[in-house]
């Protein structure tokens, strides 16, 4: 594992975007595993800048997102599909037909999860998986549990996650209680993992996950078993 500590969120974002840009440039048909939340916003800004400057082509890029709230339409402002369109896809030359976010409104959610995993497998996993980390150690919406779940599945959000994500909604009551998330097999089959965390509040959980016991109680700890992980932590 490569652990990079930088001073500022701006540095984290530049470095993270450079790593993803290298992967895009090195593949004919790059497959990106993408995340939402506040942590990757700066990386997406830098990727958009590179694209606008003519330095990075997204025309062959396929993306597969980690998760989506259950019950939110893609045009709901707090849905992760909306977030991805708004922060990245609307601003680069990616073909939206090649961007995948779980459908939180699928009539048959089990079939949706199975199809999501099948597609990821057909791609041979992603070339790089971008991850944030929750204060409870979650990755995607794989919450602390007594076992790791391999497949894409529906989860009940942890009270601490609902609390943390309430900042994006009008009130805590509006935060969906359930989500669909890629499972650990989907994440771990990525060829490269880039996990980012900013702010002192994330430091303890990041250290526990990266250097503590590997346990489903700290879902991100499974990444210790992956052969190619880069962590970028910024203090601010
Ligand atoms: C988002 C996701 C989550 C976030 C995590 C950290 O797609 O999968 O695991 O990465 O909740 O969120 P932020 O970056 O908002 O602190």
pLDDT-derived band at 146, boundaries 50, 70, 90:
very high
Report the distance separating Cα 144 and Cα 142, nearest Å.
7
Q: Where residue 125 sits, what CATH number does that domain have?
A: 3.40.50.1360
Give the mean model confidence (pLDDT) for residues 75-84. Answer: 97
Cα–Cα distances in angstroms (integers) from residue 228 to residues 73, 138, 166, 192, 203, in the given order = 34, 19, 33, 5, 21
**Is 215 inside a domain boundary?**
no
**Is 148 inside a domain boundary?**
yes
Q: State how many domains the chain has.
A: 1
pTM for the structure as a whole: 0.98
Take residue 140 and report the two structure tokens written for it.
């995607």
pLDDT-derived band at 79, boundaries 50, 70, 90:
very high
**What's the DSSP call for residue 197?**
E
Give the mean model confidence (pLDDT) for residues 35-48. Answer: 98
Give the mean model confidence (pLDDT) for residues 194-211. Answer: 98
DSSP symbols for 118-161: HHHHHTTS-SEEEE---TTS-BTTB-S-SS---S-EEEEPPHHH
pLDDT-derived band at 129, boundaries 50, 70, 90:
very high
**Is 55 inside a domain boundary?**
yes
**pLDDT at residue number 46:** 98
Atom number, ligand 1, closest to the C-alpha of residue 202: 16
Give the mean model confidence (pLDDT) for residues 127-137. Answer: 98
**pLDDT at residue number 212:** 98
Å from CA of 89 to ligand 1 middle: 18
**pLDDT at residue number 8:** 98
- Strand-pairing partners, residue 139, are 142
CA nearest ligand 1 atom 9, residue:
140
Report the distance separating Cα 43 and Cα 54, nearest Å.
17
Report the distance separating Cα 112 and Cα 106, nearest Å.
7
**pLDDT at residue number 67:** 98
Structural domain of residue 116, as residue ranges? 2-204+226-234
Take residue 150 and report the two structure tokens written for it.
């391999």
Report the distance separating Cα 195 and Cα 72, nearest Å.
26
**pLDDT at residue number 203:** 97
Take residue 82 and report the two structure tokens written for it.
């909306």
**pLDDT at residue number 234:** 98
The residues annotated as belonging to the active site are: 67, 136, 138, 143
Å from CA of 101 to ligand 1 middle: 15
Q: Is there an atom of ligand 1 within 6 Å of 35 CB?
A: yes
**Is 29 inside a domain boundary?**
yes
**pLDDT at residue number 170:** 93
Å from CA of 123 to ligand 1 middle: 24
Pocket test for ligand 1, best of 34, 35, 44 (most atoms within 8 A of CB): 35
- Contact assessment for residue 47 and residue 21, using Cβ atoms and an 8 Å cutoff: yes
Give the mean model confidence (pLDDT) for residues 61-69. Answer: 98
């Amino acid at each position: 594992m490569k652990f990079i500590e930088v001073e500022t969120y701006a540095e984290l974002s530049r470095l993270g975007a450079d790593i993803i840009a290298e992967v895009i440039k090195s593949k004919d048909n790059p497959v990106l595993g993408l995340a939402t939340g506040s942590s990757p916003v700066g990386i997406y800004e830098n990727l958009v800048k590179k694209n606008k400057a003519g330095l990075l082509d997204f025309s062959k890029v396929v993306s597969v997102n980690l998760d989506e709230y259950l019950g939110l339409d893609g045009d709901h402002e707090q849905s992760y599909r909306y977030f991805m369109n708004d922060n990245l896809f609307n601003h680069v030359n990616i073909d939206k037909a090649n961007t995948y976010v779980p459908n939180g409104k699928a009539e048959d959610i089990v079939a949706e999860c199975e199809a999501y995993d099948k597609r990821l497998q057909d791609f041979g996993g992603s070339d790089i998986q971008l991850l944030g980390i929750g204060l409870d150690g979650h990755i995607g919406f794989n919450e602390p549990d007594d076992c790791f779940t391999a497949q894409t599945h529906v989860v009940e959000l942890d009270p601490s996650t609902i609390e943390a994500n309430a900042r994006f909604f009008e009130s805590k009551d509006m935060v969906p209680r359930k989500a669909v998330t890629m499972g650990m097999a989907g994440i771990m089959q990525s060829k490269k993992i880039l996990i980012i965390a900013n702010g002192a509040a994330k430091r303890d959980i990041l250290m526990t996950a990266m250097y503590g016991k590997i346990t489903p109680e700290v879902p991100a700890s499974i990444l210790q078993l992956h052969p190619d992980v880069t962590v970028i932590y910024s203090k601010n």
